[in-house]
Amino acid sequence: MLNDKLLPAWTESDRLAALRSYRVLDTPAEPAFDGLVQLAARACRAPIALISLIDERRQWFKAEVGLGVRETPLDRSICLSAMLRPGVTIVPDLTQDPCFARNPLVTGEPYLRFYAGAVLRTPDGIPLGALCVLDRVPRDLSEDQTFTLETLAQQVMSHLELRRAIAERDEALEVSHRIEQRQALLVRELHHRVKNTLATVQALVGATGRSTGSFDEFYRSFSNRITSLAKTHNLLTEDYWQIAPLREIALNELKPFAESRQPRFILLGPSVELAADLAVPVGMALHELTTNAVRYGALSVPAGYVEVRWNMNDAEGGRKLHLEWREFGGPSVNEPQHQGFGSTLLQRVLPMQCNAEVEVQYAREGLRFRMDAPLVEQRLVPAY
């Protein structure tokens, strides 16, 4: 209980949130609101009329006539007290009211004497401010003038509600437009990816067939490559931007060795997101490197391990991804006598498809692979 009356059902944070939901503070003058204060001034025969909204540290006037300013500090606000009272607050002589006698607008320019204000209240009963009229001489309002002021305050709230509804409608239309644009661009991206994927699968069939000597070997190699390709595409599909983390791409290939008692691989590098056009060939390259290491390299013996490092370097025209694969502790390495699909992918496909610079070293202590490729950083999908 406060002064034998129930406390209000709202808090100040509720009130400020409601005020800001109308998105009206600091907006330019609008004819609809200007017309209402002019009508209030004329109906009440007052030289000053205001639509006053009480913010956290100021009272701001959506419309005013006769005062000449758009806001004042809260310590000068009469509406701050008036909006907490029911109905229309009328103060015939401000100098005689202890609440307002020391107000700077009463003791100094413009030497206000009379105030009448009708609360601007939301449909939920939360006060936002007041529609008020003021004069420089003590006076009163007639019953008809009081009724008119209260009715005009309701019209102010109707305009605020309409204004908010229009703004929310426009926002919803903009969101809908962005969603449609996003869907259209996603379809374009998926069409592009499907086309590239089918071309990749076709190339895999031919290359795997040429590099294998039996159907069983063909089936096993081809299935493993399709599985690797599917894992990379799964990472791309999970992300709104159609990008995949390089670390996750590498883990997709090396995960079978993660639970070994002895560390079998090391991944060293910052967080890097690869767009589809780079993620797919990088994923395939890591698959071929892993497969080769399992068959002939460091992962074919218990003591061997693989180190994968990457970083990003600034280059002319954009950033470049620098990726290194190094094997340690495996059998002695000799350069192969014939070029299989893995070697073709690393040394010919990556430069053509990714504009990458690659280097493969068949060092006796272990295979080394290096790649420098420009990052694909332009995204088709818009911000959302």
Report the pLDDT value the prediction gives residue 146, as an integer from 0 to 100: 95
What is the rounded average pLDDT of the residues 123-139? 95
Instruction: Work out the mean pLDDT of the chain and round it to a whole number.
Output: 85
In a domain, 384, yes or no: no
Report the pLDDT value the prediction gives residue 269, as an integer from 0 to 100: 94
* Angle formed at CA 99 by CA 38 and CA 109, multiple of 5 degrees: 50
Judge if 164 and 218 occupy the same domain. no
Judge if 216 and 142 occupy the same domain. no
pLDDT of 384 over the 50 cut: no
pLDDT of 186 over the 70 cut: no
Q: Could you list the residue range(s) of the whole structural domain that residue 89 is in?
A: 12-171
Strand boundaries in 38-126, DSSP class E: 48-54, 58-65, 71-73, 88-91, 114-121
Report the pLDDT value the prediction gives residue 268, as an integer from 0 to 100: 95
In a domain, 157, yes or no: yes
In a domain, 297, yes or no: yes
**Please, is 225 exposed, middle or buried when counting C-beta atoms within 10 Å of its C-beta (0-12, 13-18, 19+)?**
buried
Judge if 154 and 238 occupy the same domain. no
Report the pLDDT value the prediction gives residue 87, as an integer from 0 to 100: 85
Least confident of 40-49, 116-125, 163-172, 301-310: 163-172
Report the pLDDT value the prediction gives residue 189, as an integer from 0 to 100: 63
Digit-coded pLDDT (tens) for 39-77: 999 999 999 999 999 999 999 999 999 999 999 998 888
Q: Which residue has the tokens 């204000």?
A: 117
Report the pLDDT value the prediction gives residue 4, as an integer from 0 to 100: 43
Judge if 226 and 144 occupy the same domain. no
pLDDT of 195 over the 80 cut: no
In a domain, 204, yes or no: no
Q: Which residue has the tokens 């419309």?
A: 63
CATH number of the domain enclosing 284: 3.30.565.10
Judge if 274 and 141 occupy the same domain. no
Judge if 166 and 236 occupy the same domain. no
Find, among 264, 289, 267, 266, the residue nearest to 358 by Cα: 289
Judge if 159 and 219 occupy the same domain. no
Judge if 247 and 326 occupy the same domain. yes
Residue with the bigger pLDDT between 211 and 126: it is: 126
Find, among 132, 129, 105, the residue nearest to 46 by Cα: 132
Overall pTM surpassing 0.75 (yes/no) = no
Judge if 367 and 307 occupy the same domain. yes
Q: Which of 121, 138, 171 is the last residue of a domain?
A: 171
3 pLDDT tier (thresholds 50, 70, 90):
very low
Digit-coded pLDDT (tens) for 132-151: 999 999 999 999 999 999 99
378 pLDDT tier (thresholds 50, 70, 90):
low
Judge if 129 and 243 occupy the same domain. no
pLDDT of 221 over the 80 cut: no
Digit-coded pLDDT (tens) for 315-369: 777 889 999 999 999 998 888 776 666 777 777 778 887 888 999 998 888 999 9
In a domain, 281, yes or no: yes
CB-based contact 197:226 (threshold 8 Å)? no
Percent of the chain scoring above 70 in pLDDT: 84
In a domain, 206, yes or no: no
Digit-coded pLDDT (tens) for 269-309: 999 988 878 888 898 889 889 988 998 899 999 889 999 99
In a domain, 6, yes or no: no
CATH number of the domain enclosing 90: 3.30.450.40
Least confident of 124-128, 163-167, 192-196, 352-356: 192-196
Query: What span, in angstroms and rounded, lies between the C-alpha atoms of 268 and 274?
Result: 16
C-alpha separations of 320 from 77, 117, 239, 315, 377 in Å: 60, 66, 22, 6, 10
Q: Which of 148, 171, 194 is the last residue of a domain?
A: 171
Q: Which of 110, 144, 171 is the last residue of a domain?
A: 171
In a domain, 184, yes or no: no
Percent of the chain scoring above 90 in pLDDT: 51
Judge if 220 and 360 occupy the same domain. yes
Judge if 59 and 159 occupy the same domain. yes
- The DSSP bridge partners found for residue 303 are none
Tell me the two tokens of residue 242. 């159609």
Our count of domains for the chain comes to 2
